[in-house]
Amino acid sequence: MSRRRYVARGVPGRYRIWDDKARRWSGDLYELCPDGLLGELNGARDHHRITALLKRYRAEKR
């Protein structure tokens, strides 16, 4: 079973999440990369946890 590999990448003035397996951007454009999300991306890389964090931060932006 292959695991998704997510990476936080900087784009001019912001951050986006890059999905290496799908070879595309995933999620929203963030002005600041949230610490919890960055920690998960650089740590355990649990797909379910990353998805939950993305949903949480997306809801906070509204």
Has this prediction a pTM greater than 0.75?
A: no
Which residue pairs, CB below 8 angstroms and at least 24 apart, start in 20-29? 26/54, 27/54, 27/58, 28/54, 28/57, 28/58, 28/61
pLDDT cut 70: percent of the chain above it:
77
Q: Is residue 48 part of a domain?
A: yes
**Domain total of the chain:** 1
Mean pLDDT of the chain: 77
Tell whether 41 is covered by a domain.
Answer: yes
pLDDT of residue 2: 55
Residue 1 predicted with pLDDT over 50: no
37 in a structural domain:
yes
Asked, for residue 1, whether it belongs to a domain, the answer is: no
Across 3-7, average pLDDT: 70
Q: Which domain holds residue 14?
A: 6-61
